[in-house]
Structure 1
Amino acid sequence: MKKEVQLTAFSKFAGCGAKVTPAMLDKALCGLVQPYNPNVLSDFNHAEDAGVYKLSDDLAIVQTVDFFPPVCDDPFFFGKIAATNAISDIYAMGGVPITAVSIVSFPEEKLDSSYLTKILEGALDALKESGAALVGGHSIRDEQLTFGLCVVGTVHPKKMWSNNRAQDGDLLLFTKPLGSGILQNAVKAQVAGEGDEERLLKVMSTLNKDAAEIFKQFDVHACTDVTGFGLLGHLSEMAIDNPNGFEIVMKDVPLMEGVRLYAEQGFIPGGSYTNRDHRKHLISNLDELDETGQLLLFDPQTSGGLLAALSAGEAHEALKVMRKTGIEAAIIGRVSKEIEGIVVRV
């Protein structure tokens, strides 16, 4: 590589914080009509994490795509995190990733090929761990550096997970700490403390593979992964067409070390505010939390954890197994027919 370049300087957004705002996306998708196809088991109409298409009675394919601008200045970790984030959608549907193709926009006049090599090496590292193969890709020249994957997985049609089937009495189990959006801003501003960036990169580059495999030992009623719309944004998608209500307890939500302090110092992504503006009307008692607490729950996550609904007994058992394997999981709320909509507790 030539003189080291700060990759995060290529965009004012970072990672999943670059997502189109929820309001814009809703307007764009509103009114789109798809021809009915009985083999389509999951599509964009229910804000699912991936599409699922049935090939036979015992086999379906899971398809997803995810790409974004740099989340860090290290090209290897950028590639690995982008791949980890894309693969996560397959796990969120209960699937197993099998192949991927890369998507690249690359500023040739500003970066030499060694940067792209490192990005691809990082992606391959994540793909190797997941068991999926990189089988191709497409690249274009652009002023903006972006990278991601289109991933294909498989799942049994009767064993796929959806995001909107949580049942009365379920508990909500979350598998990663929150705060990557805020911590990315602190790192970019060069105010993060010793070890903060290392911990951030570790969380974002950790596959949801182990968590998903543990969940498969239990009866998962609903599942999603928490990314650019924040915890409450993705929980709102779980609540679509669900007759039950959801409760989140703020004190039980795991946070990355130091992230509340950085939030109080103002290192909050713009996406946190747009996420809140779009979903706050769906959430009761939000004012019980201070401003920092609210924005933490809407912080756009890059390669965030899985959020799953299981019966109370199974949730506690799954949590025990996860903690034994080193997964920083926590039960953060519940589902009940006695709750209306989404309620937040301190």
Structure 2
Amino acid sequence: MKESVHEMAEQGPIVFCTGGGCTAKLGAGVLSRILEKLPRGEKDPDLLVGYDSRDDAAVYRITEDIALVQTVDFFPPMVDDPYTFGQIAAANALSDVYAMGGEVKTALNLVCFPESMDLNVLGEILRGGAEKVAEAGGTLAGGHSIADTGVKYGLSVTGLVDPHRLTANDTGRPGDKLLLTKALGVGLICTANRVGEAAPEQMEAAVRSMTTLNKTAAEIARRYEVHAATDVTGFSFLGHLHEMMGEKLSCVIDAHAVPVLPGAWEAADACLYTAAGQRNRNHTGPFVRFEKVPFPMEEILFDPQTSGGLLFAVAPQDAAALEAELQAAGLPAKIVGTIGEKQTPEITVTYE
């Protein structure tokens, strides 16, 4: 089976990997215009987080101490190896539960696959996803598949969270420190890789980042006073940061402190960015002021991430200790900014 999979992977740039991951998402601006027109219905007091909050997952209270976390995510391949793609897609879907402060319990496969393609490829995708669900401590409980013209894979995930320890994305407080747990740049590196401009070790580092679960970061963060959290995915670091501000806060980011994957700067400097990155700039750019930030760094901050890290709003007295513990666990976590009272512009990015 492995020979067949590798043969398909070698042919993949045309039929398998055409630029997927979270770069395939619809733009935030388009989604906002659509969602605001949907009928809301009667408000359910037990729906603690719904789609109207632009958060990472839905949260529904079952009892005073138990709430369900529900999320779904799937996309086309961004790498040529099916097994690796399965791992990345699963890690990305599972991440939303961690961003809400929850624990993964069950997952369902979501599969779109051409009937004409080698089914061994599908087997490898599902194997990669199943391994990540198991690593998360969850149970793979089934799924749904349809025949399609292209490959798409992901998960519907259910988790549990204590409603009193829920970390929504827009509940940060003035004075909180912003802490990012993974390096940025996977969109740029994957784009460079598709055109043969990424060194093998650069792509390997990006894959390691994308296949790393946010489980460890979330578990460590529970020991500290974290007021808000989100995972950084297709809307970019700045796009998800804009959602965290929730139109009631502002922040200052030190871009020099932001962890960046090797090769991302060079790819941005060579203009190897994505259409999704430019959509992110168009949507979020009006809320951002750059102060002496080099253009490649701007592009990195707008770069769509696939299976990106968690971005925490941490009480200032806990931030340094949380950063140190995350780094001791092998994560490239860094304090990258500070939240303040609402002002214009909403986000100021410096490069000190």
> Would you say same fold, with TM above 0.5?
yes
- Aligned partner of 1:74 in structure 2 is 81
In the alignment of these two chains, the number of paired residues is 343
Query: Please, which of 59, 72, 75 is the counterpart of residue 52 of structure 1?
Result: 59
Identify the range of structure 1 (30-39 vs 246-255) with the bigger mean alpha-carbon deviation. 30-39
Name the amino acid aligned to 1:196: Q
Q: Structure 1: where are the runs of 5+ without partners?
A: none
Measured after TM superposition, the shift of residue 286 of structure 1 is 2.5
Between the aligned partners of 2:167 and 2:271, the Cα distance in structure 1 is 37
Name the amino acid aligned to 2:193: V
**Would the aligned equivalents of 1:181 and 1:301 in 2 still touch at CA under 8 Å?**
yes
Counterparts of 1:252-331 in structure 2 under 5 Å? 252-283=257-288, 285-286=289-290, 288-331=292-335
Name the amino acid aligned to 2:161: V
- Aligned partner of 2:27 in structure 1 is 21
* 1:198 and 2:204 aligned: yes
Name the amino acid aligned to 1:58: D
Between the aligned partners of 1:39 and 1:300, the Cα distance in structure 2 is 32
- Aligned partner of 2:164 in structure 1 is 158
* 1:144 and 2:155 aligned: no
**Would the aligned equivalents of 1:163 and 1:222 in 2 still touch at CA under 8 Å?**
yes
Query: Please, which of 39, 42, 47 is the counterpart of residue 46 of structure 2?
Result: 39
- Give the TM-score of the pair, scaled to structure 2: 0.94
**Would the aligned equivalents of 2:192 and 2:267 in 1 still touch at CA under 8 Å?**
yes
Identify the range of structure 1 (204-213 vs 12-21) with the bigger mean alpha-carbon deviation. 12-21
**Would the aligned equivalents of 1:50 and 1:64 in 2 still touch at CA under 8 Å?**
yes
Between the aligned partners of 1:261 and 1:190, the Cα distance in structure 2 is 13
- Aligned partner of 2:186 in structure 1 is 180
Q: Secondary structure at the match of 1:195?
A: helix
CA gap 1:324/1:27 in 2 versus in 1, 3 angstroms: same
Between the aligned partners of 2:25 and 2:174, the Cα distance in structure 1 is 32
Between the aligned partners of 1:263 and 1:56, the Cα distance in structure 2 is 48
Query: Please, which of 206, 215, 228 is the counterpart of residue 209 of structure 1?
Result: 215
Measured after TM superposition, the shift of residue 241 of structure 1 is 3.8
Name the amino acid aligned to 2:336: I
Between the aligned partners of 1:22 and 1:70, the Cα distance in structure 2 is 21
Measured after TM superposition, the shift of residue 339 of structure 1 is 4.8
Name the amino acid aligned to 2:257: D
Q: Secondary structure at the match of 2:44?
A: coil
Measured after TM superposition, the shift of residue 9 of structure 1 is 2.9
Measured after TM superposition, the shift of residue 318 of structure 1 is 0.2
Q: Secondary structure at the match of 2:59?
A: strand
Identify the range of structure 1 (9-18 vs 318-327) with the bigger mean alpha-carbon deviation. 9-18
Q: Secondary structure at the match of 1:268?
A: coil
Measured after TM superposition, the shift of residue 281 of structure 1 is 1.1
Measured after TM superposition, the shift of residue 194 of structure 1 is 3.3
Q: Structure 2: where are the runs of 5+ without partners?
A: none
Query: Please, which of 84, 97, 119 is the counterpart of residue 91 of structure 2?
Result: 84
**Would the aligned equivalents of 2:18 and 2:77 in 1 still touch at CA under 8 Å?**
no
Between the aligned partners of 1:55 and 1:338, the Cα distance in structure 2 is 34
Measured after TM superposition, the shift of residue 192 of structure 1 is 1.4
* 1:130 and 2:141 aligned: no
